[in-house]
Amino acid sequence: MTTTTALPPARTAPLPTASRPRPGAFARVAAAEWIKFRTLRSTVWTLLATVVLMVGVSVLAAWGTAVEAVDAGGGPMNAAQLLSAGYQLAQLAVAVLAVLTITGEYSTGMIRSTFAAVPRRVPVLAAKALVLSAVVLVVTVVSMALSYVATVPFHDELDVRFDLTDAETLRMTLGLPLYLVAIALLAFGIGALLRHSAGALTAVIALLLVVENVLLLVPMRAIEVVAPFLPSTAGRRVLFDDDLVATIDAATSAAHLTPWQGYGVLVTWAVALLALAAVLLRRRDA
Amino acid sequence: MIEAQGLTKRYGSTTAVDRMSFTVRPGRVTGFLGPNGAGKSTTMRMIVGLDHPSGGSVTVNGRRYAAHPAPLHEVGVLLDAKAVHTGRSARSHLRAMAATAGIGCARVDEVIELTGLGPVADRRIGGFSLGMGQRLGIAAALLGDPETLILDEPVNGLDPEGVLWVRTLARHLAAQGRTVFLSSHLMSEMALTADHIIVVGRGRVLADAPVAEVVAGGHTSTVRVRSPFSDDLVAMLSRTGASVTPTGPDTLEVRGRTAAEVGDTAAAAGVPIHELTPVERSLEDAYLQLTADEVEYHTTAIDQQTAGASAPMTEGALR
């Protein structure tokens, strides 16, 4: 590499003397986090994978249902159901992205530069959560639009209806981006608490894929009572149509949450984990 | 200006930094010198609020680091070259850092030029050599045109040209009236770069003085004497109040007397002398002597006398 003997000129500007954070301080931290987010190839790839997964599963679901419908002669289909068909895979992609957003800084040592630049630390956590939420929201909405377009060839055959004035359809449609944002924040909170990529990824995937699904099968009263309040079990009700919600409720004598109550439980988990992460963030050495 | 008052950091039963108090003043390069494990990096991390002190306090320009609204404008920090995300390009890293203080892309390009990173600025940091990583860290430290610079081992991994560049840069920044605080375990580097040094060992400040004073180190003058009748000389010189230490079968170290005085004493008694050498201590000797008891990881048991005053003369280490 080339070397240089260039020297910086003497400072020209007087030192800033304000003691309070100037207005816009958070906006600057958010701008920095946005630069960090979009300048990593891994985030770009993860987002592309999320879109492909969501659209792909929607198309597969439409195709599969179309084949079945010909045999069974089913009735009209709600488009919202098609659009959210890929939520289980999408939530994994989004959770991985969310975890790496924060643990990637710890594993590389970047966090020391980050906190040296923003020694109050909590604005960093908030800015990262904001950038992550906005990106997941946009990516989900784009994926849903693409899913809709990509499944058009099956719409006639499936008698697909998409009526956003219908409360159930509106809830399911809004539910997917909201659900994925909440899952992202939950995973981000776990990442911020554990600070290690491998540990946090294992914890999040185990929670989403294993713990909740296994607990649903355990016929113990205590677990049955708790199960409906687990984050994903509660939150994903917002994605289901009223029939499915009723079917699930019929299978258990534990609490019956409405879809929005269920979503509220998921958000509560995410907020609680983030609050705990914020407290520890200030206390721990970086 | 950096002021530490009784700064302490404990990890369980280990005390990494033990009631350190010192002041780093503007307008000069202050070296922070100590063996590995002496607490230099921990102290620097506490200065910039990354580690929380177990006791005491430290301020930068009169205020806790975390209380500065835009710390990059006040303090430039190079903690270690690895405090970056390896997946990002150097330019993106600097832009993200700059954004936190509202610093624009023009300044980012400026520090890239200044540190000679131009040709590699758009490559991923993961492929950087240690030297390029150091330059990137220094570029980040300079972003906000800060009044105070804190550089932890800035010459680590740099080629000779890079070392010279850092030395010139540090002196230049100090000459502009800025506070420059840099750590090293390389005494020779400190002798050339620093005006003032703070020597630490096992978390304590061992010396805090101008370089010249640390070298003189309280032992006003040391004279090495060789004589077949060294035992007689010990008795004679001790009577005159000099401090005499036998360092071999026929060699002595005399403190508190000049070579001329020692020679005159011997001549008056008719004792033959085979060698009479004033020992100029280098910063290295001073440092080794100061830290002899304080090194955390001994390679072998060090004979303190050998490690101290009678180490080979390295005149000219202080140019």
How much is the ipTM here?
0.85
In what helix (H) or strand (E) does residue B212 lie, and over which residues does it extend? helix B211-216
- What type of residue sits at position B68? H
Check whether residue B197 and residue B256 sit in a common domain. no
* Single-letter code of the amino acid located at B17: V
- Please say whether the dihedral angle defined by the alpha carbons of residues A215, A218, A222 and A227, taken in this order, is positive or negative: positive
* Residue B162: domain span: 2-208
d(CA A131, CA A30): 7
Asked if the structure places residue B79 within a domain, the reply is yes
List, in sequence order, the alpha helices (H) in B69-155.
71-74, 90-99, 105-114, 130-142
Least confident of A70-79, B65-74, B140-149: A70-79
Please determine, for residue B303, whether its predicted confidence score (pLDDT) is greater than 70.
no
Model pLDDT for residues B184-222, shown as the tens digit of each residue: 888 888 888 999 999 998 889 988 989 878 776 655 567
Two structure tokens written together for A132: 């992550």
Radius of gyration of chain A (CA): 23
Distance CA A237, CA A261 (A): 9
B146-178 pLDDT per residue, tens: 999 999 999 888 889 999 999 999 999 999 999
**Domain containing B240 — which CATH number?**
3.30.70.980
Q: Is residue B166 part of a domain?
A: yes
Q: If you average pLDDT over residues B131-144, what whole number do you get?
A: 93
Residue B49 lies in a domain: yes
Token duo for residue A54: 């969501």
Residue with tokens 């940091």: B125
B229 and B197 housed in the same domain = no
The reply to whether residue B83 touches residue A112, judged by beta carbons under 8 angstroms, is: yes
CA distance A38 to chain B (A): 9
- For residue B3, list its beta bridge partners: B23, B59
- The structure tokens 């509220």 sit at A264
Give B-chain residues touching A8 at CB under 8 angstroms: 114, 142, 145, 169, 172-173
Query: Do both B104 and B231 map to the same domain?
Result: no
- Residue B189 domain-assigned? yes
E strand map for chain B: 2-11, 14-24, 29-33, 55-60, 75-78, 148-152, 179-184, 196-201, 204-210, 222-226, 243-246, 251-255, 275-279
Q: What are phi and psi of B77, to 5 degrees?
A: -125, 130
Q: Residue A89 has which token pair? A: 């895979």
* Average pLDDT, integer, range B8-29: 93
- Lowest-pLDDT range of A213-217, B274-278, B295-299: B295-299
Give the containing element (helix H, strand E) for A110.
Answer: helix A110-117
Output the CA torsion sign for B62, B63, B69, B70: positive
Joined together, the tokens standing for residue B249 give 């079968």
Same domain, B56 and B140: yes
Residue B7 placed within a domain: yes
CATH number at B156 reads 3.40.50.300
Neighbours of A206 (CB within 10 A): 12
Q: At what angle do helices A197-205 and A87-108 cross, to 10 degrees?
A: 160
Does residue B91 sit within a domain?
yes
Q: How many domains does chain B have?
A: 2
Chain A 99-138, residues with CB within 8 Å of chain B CB atoms? 104-105, 108-113, 115-120
Residue B260: which H helix or E strand, with range?
helix B259-269
3-class DSSP state for residue B174? helix
Residues B91 and B9 in one domain: yes
| Residue in B closest to A115 by C-alpha | B50
Q: Which tokens belong to B26?
A: 């503007």
B129 and B77 housed in the same domain: yes
At residue B36, the pLDDT reads 83
Q: How far is CA A119 from the centre of its chain?
A: 27
Q: Identify the pLDDT of residue B47.
A: 95
Residue B301 in this model has a pLDDT that exceeds 70: no
The structure tokens listed for B96 are 């993200």
Using the structure block, give the residue that is written with the tokens 């009700």.
A237
AA identity, residue B205: V
Contacts of B82 in chain A (CB under 8 A): 108-109
Confirm whether B253 is domain-assigned.
Answer: yes
Residue B185 shares a structural domain with residue B235: no
Minimal-distance CA residue of chain A relative to B118: A2
Instruction: Kindly give the confidence (pLDDT) of every residue in chain A, 286 residues in length, as a single tens digit, with 9 standing for 90 and above.
Output: 444 456 666 655 444 444 444 558 899 999 999 999 999 988 999 999 999 999 999 999 988 888 776 555 556 788 888 899 889 899 999 999 999 999 999 999 999 999 999 999 999 999 999 999 999 999 999 999 999 999 988 888 888 888 888 888 999 999 999 999 999 999 999 999 999 999 999 999 999 888 878 887 777 888 888 888 999 989 999 999 888 888 888 887 788 889 999 999 999 999 999 999 999 998 898 7
Eight-state DSSP code of residue A21: P
At residue A71, the pLDDT reads 54
Together in a domain, B195 and B258: no
Kindly report the number of other CB atoms within 10 A of residue B306's CB atom: 12
pLDDT at A11: 55
- Answer yes or no: do B180 and B98 share one domain: yes
Domain end: B176, B208, B240, which one?
B208
* Residue B261 maps to a domain: yes
The pLDDT of residue B318 is: 38
Q: Is B248 exposed, middle or buried (0-12, 13-18, 19+ CB in 10 A)?
A: exposed
Report yes or no: B106 at the A interface, CB cutoff 8 Å. Answer: no
CA A117 to chain centre: 27
Nearest CA-CA partner of B87 in A243, A35, A108: A108
pLDDT at A201: 95
Among A161-170, B46-55, B134-143, B297-306, which stretch is predicted with the lowest mean pLDDT?
B297-306
Q: Which of B156, B181, B208 corresponds to the end of one domain?
A: B208
The secondary element (H helix, E strand) that includes residue A70 is: helix A41-72
How far does the CA of residue B302 sit from the closest CA of chain A (Å)?
35
Judgement on whether residues B192 and B240 belong to the same structural domain of the protein: no
The model carries a pTM of 0.82
Q: What CA–CA distances, in Å, run from B241 to B201, B211, B234, B236, B237?
A: 31, 29, 11, 9, 7
Tokens representing A103?
């643990």
Residue B35 and residue B294 in contact, taking contact as beta carbons nearer than 8 Å: yes
Task: Compute the C-alpha angle B74/B202/B147, nearest 5°.
Answer: 10
Q: What sign does the dihedral B68-B72-B76-B77 (CA atoms) show?
A: positive
Return the residue in A19, A97, A107, A108 with the most chain B beta carbons within 10 A, the one to mutate for interface testing. Answer: A108
Share of chain B above pLDDT 90, in %: 48
Q: Which two tokens stand for residue A270?
A: 């995410």
Put simply, the answer to whether A11 touches B101 (Cβ < 8 Å) is no
Question: Are residues B84 and B187 located together in one domain of the fold?
Answer: yes
Asked if residue B181 and residue B252 are part of one domain, the reply reads no
Six token digits for residue B254: 């005399």
- The 10 Å Cβ neighbour count of residue A27 is 12
- Count of residues in chain B: 319
Confidence of residue B297 (pLDDT cuts 50, 70, 90): low
